[in-house]
Homo-oligomer: A and B are copies of this chain.
């Protein structure tokens, strides 16, 4: 039996096709989220990769910020639940998920048995989100994928005092004008995201195992800065960005099989 999980975020659309609730048959990640054709394209891409057709899918669950706009799914499920399920599938001992997306930050706390017990979310302020990194990468004219290597060679990380994306942007511009090196500024940017994230995580409690999901999880520079801020290792998997879609596909499987 094949189930489909779709996660429509603010900046990307993701799909996972799952066989019997355990085997990932195909996955896709398409740039473009809510309000674009990307969700449909992500579904088409996953189907094409798997060689399956829509008729082969027993149940579809859609999640993420854009889930209510996607009418053809069998069910909509909140992204927090799906992230918890997907995260726990990849890391069975997971207790804390830090999910930094393109426009929001979520921290989800799970019980020993994997039930969501608490969460914090910031989707009002761009500071500390993927958008903050986009703005900074734009100012520095670097690629997001360069951040990890640049931060690694910093010898004296800049200190960025403004939390606000707009004010921090000006601060970075003036630091560069005053001779700060790009690696040092990049390290300062990672520390800025980390300190904001860490204060959210500390409010909810740092229970190990901690993992990162969301697009920013791929960013090793930010991940390492958060590890340093929290003082605990942070698990990461190439599947991290697919936690929502994976959780949705598992939810779909459990729904049909009425797993409680």
Contacts and interface: CB of A to CB of B under 8 A. Distances in A.
Interface of A: 103, 124-126, 131-132, 135, 162-167
B167 A103 contact: yes
19 contacts: A103-B167, A124-B162, A124-B163, A124-B164, A124-B167, A125-B125, A125-B164, A126-B164, A126-B165, A126-B166, A126-B167, A131-B166, A131-B167, A132-B166, A135-B166, A164-B165, A165-B165, A165-B166, A166-B166
Nearest to A167: B126
Contacts of A126: 164-167
Contacts of A164: 124-126, 165
Nearest to A123: B167
Contacts of A124: 162-164, 167
Contacts of A103: 167
Nearest to A35: B174
Nearest to A163: B124
Instruction: Rank and list the top 7 A-B pairs by shortest CB-CB distance, nearest first.
Output: A126-B166, A165-B166, A126-B164, A125-B164, A131-B166, A126-B167, A124-B164
Contacts of A166: 126, 131-132, 135, 165-166
A23 B117 CA distance: 66
A126 B168 CA distance: 10
Contacts of A135: 166
Contacts of A125: 125, 164
A167 B126 CA distance: 7
Most B-side CB within 10 Å, residue of A125, A131, A163: A125
A101 to B, nearest CB: 13
A133 to B, nearest CB: 12
Nearest to A132: B166
A173 B26 CA distance: 35
Residue among A132, A163, A165 having the largest count of chain B Cβ atoms under 10 Å: A165
Contacts of A162: 124
Task: Pick the most buried of A131, A165, A166: most chain B CB atoms within 10 A of its CB.
Answer: A166
A103 B167 CA distance: 8
Given A126-B165, A131-B166, 16 more contacts: A124-B162, A124-B163, A124-B164, A124-B167, A125-B125, A125-B164, A126-B164, A126-B166, A126-B167, A131-B167, A132-B166, A135-B166, A164-B165, A165-B165, A165-B166, A166-B166
